[in-house]
Structure 1
Amino acid sequence: MAHRALVIAMLPAIGLRVLAVLGFPPALLFYGDSFAFLREELTPGTTRPSGYSLLLALLRPAHSLTLVTVLQHVLGLALAVGVYALLRRRGLPGWGATLLVTPLLYDEFLVLLEHMIMADAIFIVLITAAVALIVWRVTPATAATAGMLLGLAGITRTIGLPLLLLTAAYLLVRRYGWRPLLALVVAGAIPLGAYATWTKIEKGKFALTEADGNFLWSRTMSFADCDVIKPPERLAVLCPRMPVEQRPYPPHWLWESFSPLLKVPGTANRNQLAGEFARQAILAQPGGYLGAVATDFKQLLRWERTAVDEKTPYKLPAAERPISESVRGVAESYEDGPAATRVVEPYAGWLRAYQRFGYVPFPLLTLGLLAALALTVARRRWDALLPSLAALALIAAPPFLAAYDVRYVVPAIPLICLALGLTLSARAPGDTAARPTRQPEAVAGHAS
């Protein structure tokens, strides 16, 4: 059987997802974000776009969070099969293609995100599918489909927008012609434009979110010194009041009661002032900004995803966590019943044990990305350039724009696997597999 290696690898991967469904029904919930996505009132999000909320709204009539997580698990498995099929098409043997999609099948964080009511799993599928389509074949049809997928990714997580621009630049530099480029841009602009128009109608501003300035401001809290920045009086309220060495990690400045950001009235006004402060801080202290970014990048050298005693929302729970009264109604309305994550043993325990070792360490992932970039140039496998650069953008952008988070690195895993496979494949785009032919002499000899 040509795909025996993949079939063998798929069975335990399916088993891991079955453990998630059985061990943590109906779904894993992430702080306040999951409940914001689950709200019945559909409105453009303030801190994040609401593309994932639209998907949840389509599934709402079933009143089943389990349906959502099972769908995400199935899409995750289908993505691995799709990357495998593309690598086989490029000439990799079955075992080689299977080896390269193993992280997609077995990485515990991908399984966790698939089982969580968060936009990440859908975002990963959208961006990887879009890039794979462009790598597979560039035509107006595939470019339009990829553009639509990237546009949907942009209203799911805003980092999808730079990926659309990156893909357009790739088509331009590779000289694929104006038709695919136009198809990509127009198709990508449809969901983005529709969503921004919705935001304009609802909130009076043509935008995807109202928080880009807030996130960049929180980044500057790692180093900002108002004695150096000397902000005008209208921005001085955003100055941090505690020494640099005592300041918490940037995301805390967005929500915690000590944050001066919360003293600024008006969502749009807050975002605008925060953006202005952040830009002044970066211009006044470029060394501090780059130093904070570099400190975040050091996290990529850490072998363990999370330490045993580390408090993080990315650990599978050992006991049921009650849902806060303020948001319980939102989840229970969607589920039409109790919605708190239950912990069912022994399945939950088996998956928790697997979580301690079932992942690709980030140092190896970083080496894989660097290897893919180097091999792309050395072997002139320019079809691997797009997934390599897309993965680099996903990893590099958050420390510059907000802060490092392990959840922001994981979407790069499928793209790095795809890029590595393309650089190692024997067949370039457009090549056809060599088919054995019978030589005229042999045919003649047989006839005689």
Structure 2
Amino acid sequence: MAHRALVIAMLPAIALRVLAMIGFPPSILFYGDSFAFLSEELKPGTSRPSGYSLLLALLRPAHSLTLVTTLQHLLGLALAVAVYALLRRRGLPGWGATLLVTPLLYDEFLILLEHMIMADAIFIVLVTAAIVLLVRRVTPASAATGGFLLGLAGITRTVGLPLLILTAAYLLVRRYGWRPLVALLVAGAIPLGAYATWTKVEKGKFGLTEADGNFLWSRTMSFADCDVIKPPERLAVLCPDMPVEQRPYPPHWLWESFSPLLKVPGTANRNQLAGEFAREAILAQPGAYLGAVATDLAELLRWERTDVDEKTPYKFPAAERPISESVRGVAESYEAGPAATKVVEPFAGWLRAYQRFGYVPFPLLTLALLGALVAALVRRRWDALLPGLAALALIASPPFLAAFDVRYVIPAIPLVCLAVGLTLGRRTPAAADTREEALVAG
């Protein structure tokens, strides 16, 4: 059987997802984010776009969080098959292509995200599917489909926005012709424009969120010194009032009661002033800003994702967590019944034990990414540059715009595996030949 290696690898991967389903029914809820996505009142999000909420709204009539997580698990498995199929098409043997998609099948964090009511699993599928389509063959039709998927990714998580621009630049540099480029941009603009228009109708201003300035401001809290920045009086209220060495990690400045951000009235006004403060802080202290970014990126050198005793929401829970009364109604309305995560032993314990070792260490992931980018240039495997650069953008941008978070690195895993595989596979046709195919298809 030609795909025996993949079939053998899929069976334990399916078993791990079954363990998640029976060990932690109906799903794992993430702090306030999950409940915001589940809300029955559909509206553009303030700190995050609501693309995932739209998907949940489509599934709401079933009143089943189990259906949501089942769909996410199936999409995760399908994504691994899609990457495998492309690598086989590029000449890799079955065992080689299977080895390269192993992280997609077995990484514990991907399984965790698939079982969470969070936008990440869908975002990963949208981005990787778009890149796979465009790497496989560039035509106006594939470019339009890929652009539309990237547009959907942008309204699912805003970090997806640069990927549409990056992909357009890739098509331009590779000289695939104007038709695929226009198809990509127009199709990508459809979901983005529709969402921005919705925001305009609801909030009076075009945009995807009202928090980009807030997040950048929180980034500057790692180093901001108002004696150096000397902000104007209207921005001075956003100055931190504690020494740099005592300041908590940037995300805490967005929500905690000590944050001066909460002193600024009005959501839009707060976001605008925070963005202005952040830009002044970065211009006044560029070295400190880059130092804070470098400190965050150094987390990629950490072998273990989370220490055994480290408090983090990114673990399969050891005990049932009651839902806060303030949001209980939101989850139970969606589920039409009890919605708190149950912990069913011994299945939950087996998955918690697996979580301690079933992952790709970030140093290896980073080394694989850098190696793929270098190999793509040396071996002239230009199609490997698109997933490689997309992965680099996903990993590097959060520390510049907000802060490092383990969860933000995970979407790069499928792209890194794809980039490595493409550097090892057959060389694609010359860009000029492919461009001619695209023009004929158009």
What range is the shorter-chain TM-score in?
Answer: over 0.9
Q: Which whole-Å CA distance do the structure 2 matches of 1:187 and 1:391 have between them?
A: 22
* Structure 1 residue 430: Cα displacement: 7.7
Q: Which whole-Å CA distance do the structure 1 matches of 2:125 and 2:2 have between them?
A: 25
Partner of 1:59: 59
- Work out whether 1:367 is the aligned partner of 2:367: yes
Task: Encode CA deviations 1:389-442: one digit per residue, 9 max, x unaligned.
Answer: 0000000000000000000000000000000000001342489xxxxxxxxxxx
Partner of 2:220: 220
Q: Which whole-Å CA distance do the structure 2 matches of 1:411 and 1:333 have between them?
A: 30
Change (3 A) 1:14 1:410: same
Task: Encode CA deviations 1:354-407: one digit per residue, 9 max, x unaligned.
Answer: 000000000000000011001000100001010000000000000000000000
Partner of 1:421: 421
Match runs of 1:97-176 below 5 Å: 97-176=97-176
Match runs of 1:65-84 below 5 Å: 65-84=65-84
* Structure 1 residue 224: Cα displacement: 0.2
- Work out whether 1:315 is the aligned partner of 2:315: yes
Partner of 1:10: 10
Name the aligned partner's letter for residue 358 of structure 1.
G
Partner of 1:208: 208
Partner of 1:332: 332
Q: Secondary structure at the match of 1:159?
A: helix
* Structure 1 residue 25: Cα displacement: 0.3
Q: Which whole-Å CA distance do the structure 2 matches of 1:315 and 1:61 have between them?
A: 30
Q: Secondary structure at the match of 2:31?
A: coil
Task: Encode CA deviations 1:316-370: one digit per residue, 9 max, x unaligned.
Answer: 1110000011000000000000000000001000000000000000000000001
Q: Which whole-Å CA distance do the structure 2 matches of 1:160 and 1:407 have between them?
A: 14
Name the aligned partner's letter for residue 323 of structure 1.
I
Q: Which whole-Å CA distance do the structure 1 matches of 2:20 and 2:341 have between them?
A: 11
Partner of 1:435: none
Q: Which whole-Å CA distance do the structure 2 matches of 1:253 and 1:328 have between them?
A: 26
Name the aligned partner's letter for residue 425 of structure 1.
G
Q: Which whole-Å CA distance do the structure 2 matches of 1:305 and 1:392 have between them?
A: 19
Q: Secondary structure at the match of 1:32?
A: helix
Partner of 2:435: none
Q: Which whole-Å CA distance do the structure 2 matches of 1:378 and 1:430 have between them?
A: 16
| Aligned partners of 2:212 and 2:275 also within 8 Å | yes
Which structure has the bigger radius of gyration? Answer: 1
* Structure 1 residue 275: Cα displacement: 0.0
Q: Which whole-Å CA distance do the structure 1 matches of 2:402 and 2:383 have between them?
A: 30
Partner of 1:243: 243
Partner of 1:184: 184
* Structure 1 residue 165: Cα displacement: 0.3
Task: Encode CA deviations 1:264-314: one digit per residue, 9 max, x unaligned.
Answer: 000000000000000000000001100000000110000000000100000
Name the aligned partner's letter for residue 352 of structure 2.
R
Q: Which whole-Å CA distance do the structure 1 matches of 2:209 and 2:315 have between them?
A: 29
Name the aligned partner's letter for residue 416 of structure 1.
V
Task: Encode CA deviations 1:191-248: one digit per residue, 9 max, x unaligned.
Answer: 0000000000000000000000000000000000000000001000000000000000
Q: Which whole-Å CA distance do the structure 2 matches of 1:430 and 1:117 have between them?
A: 43
Q: Secondary structure at the match of 2:73?
A: helix
Partner of 2:40: 40
Q: Which whole-Å CA distance do the structure 1 matches of 2:428 and 2:221 have between them?
A: 47
Partner of 1:444: none
Name the aligned partner's letter for residue 175 of structure 1.
R
Name the aligned partner's letter for residue 376 of structure 1.
A
| Aligned partners of 1:158 and 1:208 also within 8 Å | yes
Task: Encode CA deviations 1:120-150: one digit per residue, 9 max, x unaligned.
Answer: 0000000000001110000000000000000
Q: Which whole-Å CA distance do the structure 1 matches of 2:340 and 2:265 have between them?
A: 34
Partner of 1:434: none
| Aligned partners of 1:136 and 1:429 also within 8 Å | no
Task: Encode CA deviations 1:178-203: one digit per residue, 9 max, x unaligned.
Answer: 00000000000000000000000000
Q: Which whole-Å CA distance do the structure 1 matches of 2:316 and 2:129 have between them?
A: 28
Partner of 2:86: 86
Divergent runs of 4+, >3 A: none
Name the aligned partner's letter for residue 302 of structure 1.
R
Partner of 1:304: 304
| Aligned partners of 1:90 and 1:429 also within 8 Å | no
TM-score between the two structures when normalised by the length of structure 1: 0.96
In structure 2, stretches of 5+ residues that fail to align are 432-442
In structure 1, stretches of 5+ residues that fail to align are 432-448
Name the aligned partner's letter for residue 395 of structure 1.
I
Q: Which whole-Å CA distance do the structure 1 matches of 2:244 and 2:383 have between them?
A: 45
What is the Cα-based RMSD across aligned positions, in Å?
Answer: 0.8
Name the aligned partner's letter for residue 145 of structure 2.
T
Q: Secondary structure at the match of 2:69?
A: helix
Q: Which whole-Å CA distance do the structure 2 matches of 1:23 and 1:347 have between them?
A: 5
| Aligned partners of 2:381 and 2:427 also within 8 Å | no
TM-score between the two structures when normalised by the length of structure 2: 0.97
